[in-house]
Every structure is written in C-alpha cells, then in structure tokens.
A and B are shown apart, each in its own frame.
Chain A
Amino acid sequence: MFLLSVLLTGCGTDRFEPNGWGGITIDNNKLFIGSGDGQLIILDPKNGALLQSYPQNKENLHAIYSAPLISNNGKTIFYGTYSKKDGGTIYSLQSDTLTPNWTKAIPGSIVAQPIMADNLLLVSSSDGKLYAMEPETGNQKWVFESDGKLWSSAAWSEGNSVFIGSLNKKFYAINKNNGTKLWEFESEGAIVGTPLINGSTVYFGALNKKIYALDSKTGIEKWSRLGDHWYWAPLTQDKNALYAGSMGGMVSALNLDTGIALWEQKIDGAILAPLLLLDSLIAIASDNGQVTVLRKDSGNQTWNFPAGKSMRAKMANQENKIYLITTEGEIKSLDANRGTSLWSLQRDN
C-alpha cells in the first residue's frame, strides 16, 4: 500500500508539465505559428496548408509559449523556447527559408515573446533577467537582473524606457541604452501579462486581481482597480478604452484615465489569451474552449464559437478572419463577422 500510494502520487499531474501553448503572428500573407510542441510552422492563411516548418526533426524540442516575433523589416523570425531541464533557447531564422541565423541558449526558460526595441532584441527569462541582444548576431549588449521570474514580455514605445513586470510582484522601468533601473513599483500581485504603454501612462494587470495605471516617468500610481480574478492576459486598448480579460471570465472596458468601467461582460471560461481587437469588435478566446466576440462599444455578444479545446495563445486576424491555436495543437480559421469555421488543422502536440 505504501508503494501504491507513492506510485499514485504522480497520477494526473501531467497537465502541469510545461507543454507550451504557442501563438500566431501574421506577416506577409503567411501565418507564423509557434506550436506548443516546439516547432515553428508557416501556414497559408487561406486554407491552412503547411508551407514550411522548423526544425524538421520533432525530437527533443522544447515548449513554446508565445507567438514568434517578425522583425521590422519582415525578414527575420525570433522565438524562444522553454525547458525545465535545459533552460531557454532563442532562435533567429530567416523568414523566407527558415534557415537559422543564430541560436542562443540562456539559463532561464523563455515564456514570453521577444520584442524589438529600436534595434535591440529584448528577451525576458525565467532566471529573472531581461537580455538585450543585437538582433543580427545574438550578442548580448546588456542584461537587467530582477529577483523574480520574468514571464511577461517587455514593453517599449519610443523613448528610452523599457517596462516589464515580474512574478515577484515588482514592475520595472529600465533604461533601454544600458539596462539600468530607472524606477520600480511594488504591486501586491505577481505580474504575468505584458505591460501596455499609452502616452505617459503604463498599464498592467496582476494576479492579485488588480489593474494598475502608473506614470511612465516616475512610477507613481495613477489609479488601480480591483477586478474579480487574476489578470493573466495582457491588457489592450484603442483610443476609447482599455480592455481587460480576467481569469474569472470578466471582460472589462475601462476609462483610460480613471479606470472606471465603461462596461463589463462575463463570458464562460478563464481568459489567459490576449484579447484580439477587430474594427468594432473584440474577440476573446477562453480556457474552456469558447471564442466569444463582443461589441467594443457596449460589450454585447455578437457571436460565440465552440472551439472545443482550451485556448491560451495569442490569436491573429487579417481581412476579417481570426486565426487561433488551441493548447492541443488544433489551428482554426474563423470568419470574424459570422463566427463560422473556415478551416481547421490538427497538429500532433
């Protein structure tokens, strides 16, 4: 009975293993998909036909949790991988041939998408470091060290400041030129989602159920708002409102200056995937397999599509089509106006 209990201990816990959930980027009329199983694939958005994949050999690949980054000139793809045992690896490939430019191993696993900040490639890592690299070579220019895991992407929007939140509840502003800390803000919750910059304000959500708005120059809190559950998904905004989705399934449109709710709508399932803004609509993929589209002005539901499987990855849209990937590797294209399936592709995840 001792042995049985020890053997049973691990049963059912494989769903907490790092399997990755990937993400989608559209560029140059191609779908670039970081698949959870560690492969980068390129599909034709019209019909889901596989155009290219990397690497060809699927053995010993590590999980991917984010969408690949296509660099400003569209010629280079960057993505990072996650491995508990081996740490993270950042890949740079040529976007037309998928030929590797360089790869770089770093001690901490990579969860978030790398970003470009004025010819600097910024990679956040589970070892608590934000690496700034030359995109052409992968050579390190500087590194910023926090005391908690960095699972969110950094954010940059002109200027010399880069912003990032960490799992140790701290939010940092960092000098883009040399990696020194400009200021830090202690929130009361772990930060997983990518910050959002809008003028002189930087916004982020945290796992203590709060959304924060800080002055981007000083780090002083402008407002904060308590929601119903964890804010994992990054916030998004247009000129009218700040949009947030919580793990309690609450979608909120907030006044950018005050944080007061313009509307709130509860959907079915936790929200981890970034919200997708369409023209007058907002699409939300939830953890219980539902894609829900709401009107941006009112929050009223337009349509709902049962994708069937959990979704945590970044979606993409082009020409009124929504592209998504489930945690089990199924890739779908939906009509953004009608909510009907256009095509579907199942990968082995």
Chain B
Amino acid sequence: MEIFGIIWNEVLIRPMTNGLIILYLGLFNNFGLAIITFTVFIRVLTIPLTLKQLRSSKAMATIQPKVADLQKKYPKDRQKISQETFKLYREAGVNPMGCLGPMIIQMPIWIGLYWSLIRALPSSPEALAGLAETLYSKLHLVHAAIPIQSSFLWLDLAAPDSTPILPLGVGISMWIQQKMMTHPSADPKQRQTNQIMLWMMPVMFVFFTFQFPSGLALYWVVTNTIGIVIQYFVTGWDNLLGRNEPKEPSSDTPHTPVTNTKEIDNGAKIEEQRKHGNHRNIRPVRRRSNRGRTNTPRRK
C-alpha cells in the first residue's frame, strides 16, 4: 500500500501542488486565477476524450429505440438481447463504456486538487509542516511563495463559501450540463431514471460544496462551464430546451373533429378490405386541393 501512496504523491500531488503555486506566482499572486487556469488546462488536455465520450453518448441515444425493440422482440431471452445489443453497438461504432473515460480521469484530479488545496493553503500547523515535504526543494521560488494568499473575490479558497453563491453556481452549472447530456427516452422507466439523476447529482454537489474548500468548488464551476460549452458544440441546446422530447399521444390533447364524412367512410372501407387481405380495390380518396384554383367554370 505504501508504494501506491508514494506513486500517488510523486505522480499527482507534488506536481499538482507545485504547479498550482507556480501558476499562482505567474498570475499576480492570485490563487483563484491559478485554479481557473489549471482547470482550463486540464479540460483542454482531455478534450479529445470528452468529445469521444459525448459522441458515443449521442450515438447510443439514437440506437436506444432499436435496443427497446430488441427487448420486445426477445422478451424472455436475455442472452439473445445481450448479443443483439452488442451487435447493434458494434455496427453503430459505440462503446458503452465510453462515458467512463472522462470520469476516470476526473476522479483523481478532483481528489488530487483537494489534497493540493489543503496543502498549498494550510489552515493548521500540521498542514503547513506537511507542505514542506510536498514542495520540490530545488524550486526556491515556490518556497518563497509560502504562505499562499487564499482570498479570491469574496472567497477564502481554503474554507467553504460562507454565501450560497458558489454552491448554487455548482448546482446550476451541473444541472445544465446534465440536462444537455441527457438524451430523452421514450421508455418511461428510463425517463424516470434520467429525471432522478438530473436532480440528484446537482443537489448532492450543492450540499458537498457547503462542506469543501471553496477552491474545489471554484474548480467544479469552471469545469462544468467548460463542459457546457463543449456539449453545445456536440449536441446544441436542444436537450436543454426540451426540443427532443418524444411526443406521446395524450387524452388531454384537443383534436380537430373530422368534417369530411366521405373520408371516414372510405377509411373504414379500406380498413375492412385490409383485414380480409383484399388490397386490389383499395384506392384512397384523393382530396382535391383548392390551391391555385379560381372559380372559372370548366370548359366542355
């Protein structure tokens, strides 16, 4: 286990902490700007993976109806459903695990950033002493930077935001991103799951933001905002504005009463003939359009 700790420290925490402090020094001793710049840098680095995941997710949404059809076609044969589903994914070039890629990268970054924040912005003697072993000894400029000024706008980046501004920012940006990423489904169960996820994650993160240092919350707001921009270029605003919602017939929907009884009679005849397999004499009534006509009498 110790080896993992060493790897974690040497590969992630130390470079991140020292990097943040160097950014801080280069950005007018402003740690908020350092966090924002760091976030942009990470998102730019992971754009190829993010785009791949978003496109994969979009493609998956388009083949969802076919997956639903498979379930109707083979209601009791789970193995067949799985086989055909994977065949569908393969043909569509979709990787069902594709959505995990960015998440797997983001996870250690969140955790690493939290550790780096509490080390770079020590709030206790233990934390300050711990910073000594984190900084690269040959980088004299980072040592001279200590202590880092933790104020940014109204925030103390080492402490939770005392106002609801940043927590709400995290929640709202997360909701928007989630909404844009969620492709509407005709399946009622799936829609319910989507709705739960749409609200549960932002609400939980709002709660977490009240507990964690505001520097981490600042990272979340910036990363969500960038995510929204990237998402826009892939899917547009349609999901957010609800333009892609599948239309379901509803008993509440008012409908225009039919006034052409000839159409009704003919329609019933056609239906009757179809039932008995007689398709030869079926000729739907053609309604004559009045477009372009005048009241000029016909010549004999």
Tell me the A residues contacting B by CB distance below 8 Å.
1-6, 8-10, 12-13, 15-19, 21, 65, 82, 84, 111, 148-149, 151, 167-168, 188-190, 192, 207-209, 228-230, 232, 247-248, 270, 272, 287, 312
Residue pair A208, B144 in contact (C-beta under 8 Å):
yes
| 10 additional A-B residue pairs with CB within 8 Å, beyond A2-B103, A16-B130 | A1-B100, A8-B107, A9-B212, A12-B115, A13-B115, A82-B124, A82-B125, A84-B123, A148-B147, A230-B143
Which B88-121 residues sit within 8 Å CB-CB of chain A?
A: 100, 103-104, 106-107, 110-111, 114-115, 118-119
Residue pair B118, A6 in contact (C-beta under 8 Å):
no
Give the contacting residue for B124; candidates A5, A18, A230; CB below 8 A. Answer: A18
Contact status of A151 and B125, CB under 8 A, knowing A9-B110, A9-B212:
yes
Residue pair B110, A15 in contact (C-beta under 8 Å):
no
Q: List 15 A-B contacts (CB under 8 A).
A: A5-B106, A13-B115, A16-B124, A16-B126, A16-B127, A17-B126, A19-B126, A82-B125, A167-B147, A168-B147, A188-B144, A207-B143, A230-B132, A270-B133, A272-B129
The total of chain B residues at the interface (CB under 8 A) is 34
Q: B204-216 CB contact bits vs A (8 Å, 1 = yes)?
A: 1100100010001
Give the contacting residue for B110; candidates A5, A84, A151, A247; CB below 8 A. Answer: A5
Give the residues in chain A near B6, CB-CB below 8 Å: none
Per CB-CB distance, the 6 closest pairs between chain A and chain B, nearest first, are A16-B127, A5-B107, A18-B124, A9-B114, A208-B144, A247-B132
Interface residues of A, dominant DSSP = loop
Give the residues in chain B near A16, CB-CB below 8 Å: 118-119, 122, 124, 126-127, 130
Give the residues in chain A near B123, CB-CB below 8 Å: 84
Residue pair A111, B143 in contact (C-beta under 8 Å):
no
B201 on interface, CB distance cutoff 8 Å: yes
A229: nearest chain-B partner, CB-CB? B137
Give the residues in chain B near A188, CB-CB below 8 Å: 144
Residue pair A17, B143 in contact (C-beta under 8 Å):
no
Residue pair B146, A207 in contact (C-beta under 8 Å):
yes
| Alpha-carbon gap, A8 to B137, bound state (A) | 29
Residue pair B201, A2 in contact (C-beta under 8 Å):
yes
Which B137-170 residues sit within 8 Å CB-CB of chain A?
A: 137, 140, 143-144, 146-147
Contact status of A6 and B126, CB under 8 A, knowing A1-B107, A16-B119, A230-B143:
no
Residue pair A6, B208 in contact (C-beta under 8 Å):
yes
Give the residues in chain A near B110, CB-CB below 8 Å: 5-6, 9
Residue pair A84, B124 in contact (C-beta under 8 Å):
yes
B99: nearest chain-A partner, CB-CB? A1
Residue pair A189, B146 in contact (C-beta under 8 Å):
yes
Give the contacting residue for A13; candidates B106, B118, B146; CB below 8 A. Answer: B118
| Alpha-carbon gap, A19 to B216, bound state (A) | 24
Give the contacting residue for B129; candidates A8, A17, A312; CB below 8 A. Answer: A312
Residue pair A209, B129 in contact (C-beta under 8 Å):
no
